[in-house]
Amino acid sequence: MPKLELHPDRLFPADPSIRTIARDLYKSVRDLPIVSPHGHTDPSWFALDESFGNATELLLVPDHYVLRMLYSQGIAMEDMGVAPAGSGAAADPREAWRLLAANYHLFRGTPSRIWLDWVFSEVFDLDQMLTAETADLYYDRITDSLQQDAFRPRALFDRFNIEVIATTEAPLDTLEHHAQIRESDWNGRVITAYRPDPVIDPEFEGFRDNLRKLGELTGEDCTSWKGYLAAHRQRREFFREMGATSTDHGHPTAKTADLSSGECEQLFARVQADDVSAADAELFRAQMLTEMAGMSLDDGLVMQIHPGSFRNHNPQLFERFGRDKGADIPVRTEYVHALQPLLAKYGNDTRLSVIVFTLDETTYARELAPLAGHYPVLKLGPAWWFHDSPEGMRRYRRMITETAGFYNTVGFNDDTRAFLSIPARHDLARRIDCGFLAELVAQHRLEDWEAGELAQDLAYNFAKAAYKL
């Protein structure tokens, strides 16, 4: 029966001279609190503090990384415990878990394997590898544990040494769970972030309906350009009061625009019509990034841009199972021309902070590092989504550091809804960053004490500073 053991040197470069340095650096940051400035955990977990249910509900069904890999090998969604949107049942959770177990070899070489093994070993104290043979042992151990108080959301939050975590909500959200957390006697710091895509993207499901609701919620006339902007300002202020320090924008491209207010009014009228054109939708999103930057100048919210995902690429799957099932695919993304209108207007204003992410690694060295290495407002988010992995993070550091330096980056984001994997993800990032710093030291490109300072910055300080936490 194969053992499960997390090796203390895992993820460090193999060369002994580098590994020794990496190990020392890692020791100095291993126990720092977790700062999680951007992610997708559910605030109701921390508000209600209920049990997470069973192993399958917690670790399989909601994890689109795991679903897509199993699906790619011909395993049906239903068999993984995912119920179709309308009628139709999903497999029994234990059966679904057995399927994961029998196919766990598919994750060899992937970050999911690293995250899950950490959760199994560190959270549930399992010491044999997940296989067909250990499937039930795992299912029972995890499911039983989840019934215990020590495995409820707040207890895990505390155990994970999380200093602060940001969730992500839309403007129509009333943030009642956040209110509940703040009013509770629990000390955990859970804040929100303003993600206005549903009321900004004319191609978002229910956009016009969302505008109407935004109007109701704010008392502003959201059919007029001015009222619409005022509604944003009002909601941003409400989010800020509820702890938000940032906004987030998940657009198909990074395009920005700087139209006159007359053009904006006309465009806003057109995107409220029945048959909005793709070009108008794109232009409106572009203009709204610039508007959001302008509002950030006033209210101090840090702006995040996450562009470049082709959402719901698989229409059959989307119809049957909905969003976030692993069928979002990155596309080529351009930044130099796209961001120019926003940067031409606000790029030199040191009161503003814009953090840019990418799913297109070709832009690291060519576009993003040169832009962030020049504009005062720009910083680079960490390796994101498909690139939030050992090799992905190494490529990120290798391709951006020489032009953008370390100080135009913002530390690590876990960007996940897989709450239990958060410490694993931060641990992975800390190990890879320490390995990278150790390489620089071993090549005499950095002194060891400089690497020591940077290790602290990358693991903790940069995230706090960049997100104003």
According to CB under 8 A, which residues from 385 to 424 bind a second copy? 386-387, 389-392, 398-399, 401-408
273 is an interface residue for a second copy by CB under 8 A: no
Based on the shown chain and the rule CB under 8 A, indicate whether residue 450 belongs to the binding site for a second copy: yes
In the stretch 210-249, what mask flags binding to a second copy with x, by CB under 8 A?
A: ----------------------------------------
Question: Is 365 near a second copy (CB under 8 A)?
Answer: yes
Looking at the DSSP bridge assignments, the partners of residue 409 are 380
- Nearest residue to 249 via CA among 210, 329, 297, 193: 193
What's the min distance (Å) between Cβ of 260 and a second copy? Answer: 17
For 206: left if phi > 0, alpha if psi spans -120 to 50, otherwise beta; the answer is left
CB of 399 to a second copy, least distance (A): 7
Q: Partners of 432 in the beta sheet?
A: none
Q: How far apart are CA 22 and CA 436, in angstroms?
A: 8
In angstroms, what is the minimal distance from the CB of 395 to a second copy? 8
Instruction: For residues 93 and 98, give the distance between their C-alpha atoms in angstroms, rounded to a whole number.
Output: 9
Rounded Cα gap, residues 117 and 112, in angstroms? 8
> d(Cα 453, Cα 434) in Å, to the nearest integer?
11
**Binding residues for a second copy restricted to 193-212, rule: CB under 8 A:** none
Residue 433 near residue 397 (C-beta atoms within 8 A): yes
CB of 313 to a second copy, least distance (A): 6
Q: How far is the CB of 39 from a second copy (least distance, A)?
A: 20
The DSSP call for residue 60 is: I
Window 35-74: contact mask with a second copy (x via CB under 8 A): ---------------------------------xx-xxxx
Least separation, in Å, of the C-beta of 89 and a second copy?
19
> Which range binds a second copy by CB under 8 A, 38-46, 119-127, 154-162, 374-382?
374-382
* Complete edge-to-edge strand list for the sheet that includes strand 162-166: 34-36, 162-166, 190-191
Write the DSSP string, 354-384.
EEE--S-THHIIIIIHHHHTT-TTEEEPPS-
Interacting residue with a second copy among 94, 317, 456, 461 (CB under 8 A):
317
For 360, other C-beta atoms within 10 Å of its C-beta total 19
Q: Exposed (0-12), middle (13-18) or buried (19+): which is 185, by Cβ within 10 Å?
A: exposed
Residue from 151, 375, 384, 396 touching a second copy (CB under 8 A): that is 375
Q: Please report whether residue 446 would count as binding a second copy according to CB under 8 A.
A: yes
**Residue 16 or 262 having the CB closest to a second copy:** 16
Residue 304: helix, strand or coil by DSSP?
strand
Size of the site for a second copy (CB under 8 A): 94
Piece in contact with a second copy (CB under 8 A), picked from 93-101, 197-205, 267-275, 311-319: 311-319
From the CB of 36, what's the least distance to a second copy, in Å? 22
Cβ-based nearer residue to a second copy, 65 or 238: 65
| Nearest partner of 59 among 86, 99, 11, 89, judged by Cα | 99
Please, which residues bridge with residue 380 across strands?
Answer: 356, 409
CB of 163 or CB of 453, closer to a second copy: 453
Q: Confirm or reject binding of residue 316 to a second copy (CB under 8 A).
A: yes
What does the per-residue mask of binding to a second copy show for 338-357, with x meaning CB under 8 A?
A: --x--xx--xx-x-------
| 369 is a contact residue toward a second copy (CB under 8 A) | yes
- Candidates 138-146, 150-158, 281-289, 437-445 — which segment interacts with a second copy by CB under 8 A? 437-445
- Per DSSP bridges, beta strands 329-330 and 309-310 are antiparallel
How far apart CA 97 and CA 179 sit, in angstroms, is 35
